[in-house]
C-alpha cells in the first residue's frame, strides 16, 4: 500500500495538480488578516535582527524558549508567531508572551492539516506580511522546541554572510540542498525581489523550505557566503537523559516532534532545564579549553 501511495504521490500529473493546490492555498492564506498583533511590533522597523519562533500547541515550549532567550540571546529580538490549532493553547501562549514582554502574533486559522505544509504557510505569511514590512537587517525562523543554551547573536553569525542554518541535502540530488525550516536565518538585503517560498518540494527531494532552492539557494555562488551549522544527533552524543532530544545544533538543542505528543509522553520541563544547564556547562568548558 505504501509503495502504491508513494508511486501515486510522485506521479507527474499528481504532483502538478498538488502543486497547483498548494499554490492556491498559499495565495489564499497570505491574504488573510492576522488575528492578533502586538502593537509594539511596528517599533521593530529596520531592526538589527529578528527571529520568528513558530509556536504550535505547546505553551510550555514557549515558556522555556523565553527563559532561554532572556539568558542567551544578544542583540536579537524574539517574536512568537502562533500557528496553534488548539484555541486554549493559543490563549495560554498569548498570556505567556504578554506577561514576559515578548512580541506576539496570532496567525489566522491555517487551512492545512499536514504539519509540514502548515508550517510552510505560516513561514510564508510571516515573510510576506511581517518581514518585508519591518525590513530587518537579519531575520530567521526557529522551531519552538529548539532552545539556545549558550550565547546567540544573529548579527555576529550572519556578519558578511547571506544565510545561516542547518543544511539539509536533497534525497534525490546531492548537489541540491536547503536550510531546515526550524533553524534558518537570512540577510534580508540579499533577498531582493527573489521569489521566497517555504513550501516543500517533492520533485527536488526537499522538505519544508525546499522550494527556496530555485528562488534563493541555487543563486548563491560562493560557499563563503553561507554559514552552515554543526549538527550532532542524539545517537552520536549518546547522552543519557530521561527527556529524549533530536540533536544539538551549534548553541541550540532541538528536542524534536513535541508538537504532536498530545496523546504521548509530555515533555518534562525539569529534565529539559537540567539538560540545558548541562549543555551550557559543557559549552563553557569547551570554550575555555578545559
DSSP per-residue letters across 216-271: TGGG---GGGEEEPPEEEHHHH----SS---EEETTEEE--SGGG-SSSPPP-HHH
Give 81-114 pLDDT, tens digit per residue.
999 999 999 999 999 999 999 999 999 999 998 8
Give 45-77 pLDDT, tens digit per residue.
999 999 999 999 999 999 999 999 999 999 999
Residue 208 has pLDDT above 70, yes or no: yes
- pLDDT of amino acid 19: 73
For the chain, state the CA radius of gyration.
19
**Cell 536565518 maps to which residue?**
185
Residue 242 has pLDDT above 80, yes or no: no
- The full DSSP string for 64-117 is HHHHHHHHHB-S-EEEEEE--S-HHHHHHHHHHHHHTT-EEEEPPPP---SHHH
- pLDDT of amino acid 9: 61
Element (H, E) at 142: strand 138-143
Q: Is the dihedral of CA 98, 140, 170, 250 positive or negative?
A: negative
**CA 202: distance to chain centroid?**
19
Residue 267 has pLDDT above 60, yes or no: yes
Residue 252 has pLDDT above 80, yes or no: yes
DSSP state of 33: P
CATH of domain 2-231: 3.90.550
- pLDDT of amino acid 5: 44
Per cent of the chain over pLDDT 70 is: 90
- pLDDT of amino acid 257: 67
Residue 258 has pLDDT above 70, yes or no: no
- pLDDT of amino acid 260: 52
Residue 264 has pLDDT above 70, yes or no: no
Residue with the larger pLDDT of the pair 199 and 24: 199
Band of pLDDT at residue 15, cut at 50, 70 and 90: low
Residue with the larger pLDDT of the pair 285 and 131: 131
Q: Are strands 77-82 and 103-106 parallel, antiparallel or unpaired?
A: parallel
**What predicted TM-score, i.e. pTM, was given to this entire model?**
0.91
Band of pLDDT at residue 4, cut at 50, 70 and 90: very low
- pLDDT of amino acid 23: 82
CB atoms closer than 10 angstroms to residue 148: 23
- pLDDT of amino acid 12: 72
Task: Give the separation between CA 130 and CA 196, rounded to whole angstroms.
Answer: 14
Mean pLDDT of the 167-175 span: 95
Mean pLDDT of the 226-254 span: 89
Task: Give the separation between CA 112 and CA 61, rounded to whole angstroms.
Answer: 22
Band of pLDDT at residue 283, cut at 50, 70 and 90: confident
Average pLDDT of the chain is 89
Per cent of the chain over pLDDT 90 is: 71
**Cell 507527474 maps to which residue?**
12
Amino acid at each position: 500500500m505504501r509503495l502504491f501511495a508513494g508511486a501515486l504521490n510522485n506521479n507527474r500529473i499528481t504532483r502538478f495538480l498538488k502543486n497547483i493546490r498548494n499554490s492556491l492555498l498559499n495565495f489564499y492564506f497570505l491574504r488573510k488578516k492576522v488575528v492578533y498583533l502586538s502593537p509594539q511590533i511596528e517599533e521593530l522597523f529596520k531592526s538589527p535582527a529578528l527571529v520568528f519562533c513558530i509556536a504550535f500547541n505547546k505553551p510550555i515550549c514557549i515558556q522555556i524558549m523565553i527563559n532561554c532567550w532572556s539568558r542567551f540571546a544578544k542583540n536579537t529580538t524574539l517574536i512568537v508567531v502562533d500557528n496553534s490549532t488548539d484555541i486554549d493553547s493559543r490563549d495560554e501562549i498569548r498570556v505567556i508572551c504578554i506577561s514576559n514582554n515578548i512580541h506576539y502574533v496570532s496567525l489566522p486559522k491555517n487551512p492545512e492539516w499536514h504539519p509540514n505544509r502548515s508550517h510552510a504557510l505560516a513561514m510564508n505569511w510571516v515573510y510576506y506580511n511581517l518581514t518585508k514590512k519591518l525590513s530587518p537587517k537579519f531575520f530567521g525562523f526557529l522551531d519552538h522546541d529548539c532552545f539556545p543554551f549558550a550565547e546567540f547573536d544573529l548579527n555576529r553569525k550572519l556578519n558578511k554572510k547571506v544565510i545561516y542554518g542547518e543544511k539539509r541535502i536533497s534525497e534525490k540530488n546531492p548537489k541540491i540542498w536547503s536550510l531546515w525550516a526550524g533553524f534558518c536565518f537570512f540577510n534580508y538585503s540579499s533577498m531582493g525581489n527573489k521569489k521566497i517560498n517555504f513550501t516543500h518540494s517533492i520533485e527536488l527531494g526537499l522538505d519544508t523550505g525546499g522550494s527556496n532552492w530555485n528562488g534563493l539557494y541555487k543563486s548563491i555562488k560562493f560557499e563563503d557566503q553561507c554559514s552552515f551549522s554543526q549538527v550532532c544527533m542524539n545517537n552520536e552524543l549518546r547522552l543519557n537523559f530521561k527527556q529524549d532530544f533530536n540533536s544539538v545544533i551549534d548553541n541550540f538543542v532541538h528536542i524534536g516532534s513535541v508538537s504532536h505528543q498530545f496523546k504521548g509522553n509530555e515533555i518534562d520541563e525539569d529534565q529539559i532545564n537540567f539538560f540545558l544547564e548541562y549543555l551550557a556547562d559543557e559549552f563553557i568548558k569547551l570554550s575555555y579549553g578545559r
